[in-house]
Amino acid sequence: MKHLLKILLLGLSLHVAADDLGVIGKTYQINEPDMIEWIKSRASSMMQSGEWEQIQKQAIDRTRNYINHPPAIPNITDAAETKSWYYTPVVQLKENLTDGQGHTIAKAGQYNALRYMPFDVQLLFINGDNPKQVEWALEKNKESDVRTKIVLTSGSFMDLDKEHKVWFYYDQGGKYTQKLNITHVPAIVKQDGTQLKITEISNNEL
């Protein structure tokens, strides 16, 4: 009898669960805005109000300011003493270099790049915010008998271009100062035999 009662109760509960119990309370239609249409509407509103033009102007100004005033290379300071060292630009070939016909041009190994291609430029690394260093670099540029590039570690190269009518460059991301181990400026880099000679010059000598 107990087993029969359990079966009847179970059947009743399953029947109730399966029945449509109807709707309780008010119902509302779920309306989700079309995202693309919302974006179009928002963009149109911003353009009409002038907000979009203001955002564009601010973005252009930020980009222009970043290009004209890039962040200074970290850990570069004005030199307090003069010192020199050498750097050998080594090229590593992992496998033999061949021409189109399979002839070996160069075997795998290490090569001093200056033995095959001269470094025909003089690099002057300076702090562009230091007027003494700027004037020093300009004088070096005038008196040099080799092509010279003035490279900034800080300062605005565009402002200096306009002021002095000379091309100034920027060591973007500290690529060259890190490779050449330059930590103080001004510094001169030029070829000396089969090596590059780097000289940091004390600001007291400028």
Which pLDDT tens digit goes with each residue over 176-195? 999 999 999 999 999 999 99
SS3 21: coil
* Residue 77 to residue 126: CA distance in whole angstroms: 10
Q: What is the sign, positive or negative, of the torsion defined by CA atoms of 148, 149, 154, 157? A: positive
Q: Kindly report, residue by residue over 21-39, the tens digit of the pLDDT.
A: 454 455 555 555 577 777 7
Q: For residues 187 and 132, what is the distance between their CA atoms, to the nearest angstrom?
A: 13
**77-89+117-205 CATH fold:** Glutaredoxin (3.40.30)
Band of residue 71 on the pLDDT scale cut at 50, 70, 90:
confident
Residues near 27 by beta carbon (within 8 Å), at least 6 away in sequence: none
Q: Is the pLDDT of residue 10 over 50?
A: no
Predicted local distance difference test score (pLDDT) of residue 7:
39
Structural domain boundaries of the chain? 77-89+117-205
Residue 163 has pLDDT above 90, yes or no: yes
Tokens of 136: 């020093």
Average pLDDT (117-129) is 95
Q: What is the pLDDT of residue 88?
A: 93
Dist. CA 10–CA 6, nearest whole Å = 6
Q: Are 71 and 176 in contact (CB under 8 A)?
A: no
List 124's β-bridge partners, or say none: 150, 188
- For residue 92, is pLDDT > 60? yes
Mean per-residue pLDDT, 142-160: 93
Q: Residue-wise over 87-107: b if at least 16 C-beta within 10 A, else e?
A: eebeeeeeeeeeeeeeeeeee
Three-state secondary structure call for residue 39: helix
- Rounded to whole angstroms, the Cα distance separating 200 from 6 reads 96
Give the separation between CA 155 and CA 48, rounded to whole angstroms: 39
Q: Which of 21-25, 42-46, 201-205 has the lowest average pLDDT?
A: 21-25
